Amino acid sequence: MTTIQNEKIKKEKEMTPDKAAEVFVRGLEIFVKVLVISIFLGLCFLNVFIAGGIFMKAHLQGENCTVLMYGMVWSWSEALSLHLSTAAAFLVGLILFLFGTKKKSN
């Protein structure tokens, strides 16, 4: 390689304020996406753990858990359908967000 080519490569690799801002914004976008997904999944699992904890506490105290179990199965199915519809809407929104924000390079 010639010295001119080496200088061109060095200039391309230099971190300019514009490149630094672009990298920062891209990292921030990824962080927010991961945070939103984590919160959503955490809320889904939290619902199941709370219902399971209520059932186990009543069962260990010797309560008749038949009615509680039917109620929990109903609430789990309701929560599952709610979470699935929310997850479907969330995934559609995420896909549109991911592919809608790509820059067109000429």
Predicted confidence at residue 56, as pLDDT, reads 72
pLDDT at residue number 72:
64
Question: Rounded to two decimals, what is the model's pTM?
Answer: 0.41
8 A C-beta contact, residue 83 and residue 70: no
- pLDDT value of position 32: 84
**In this predicted structure, what is the pLDDT of residue 13?**
73
Q: What is the pLDDT of residue 40?
A: 74
CB-side exposure of 104: number of CA atoms within 13 Å? 2
Please list, in sequence order, all residues whose beta carbon lies within 8 angstroms of the beta carbon of residue 7, skipping any fewer than 6 positions away.
Answer: none
Q: What CA–CA distance (Å, rounded) separates 102 from 84?
A: 27
User: Side chain identity at 69, as an amino acid letter?
Assistant: M
**102 pLDDT above the threshold of 60:** no
- Residue 94 banded pLDDT, cuts 50, 70, 90: confident
What are 29-86's pLDDT values in tens digits? 888 887 787 777 777 666 667 767 776 777 777 766 666 666 666 666 666 666 677 7
For residue 41, give the nearest of 94, 106, 103, 98 by alpha carbon: 94
Quote the CA–CA distance of 32 and 101 in Å, as a whole number: 14
Please state the domain extents for the chain: 50-94
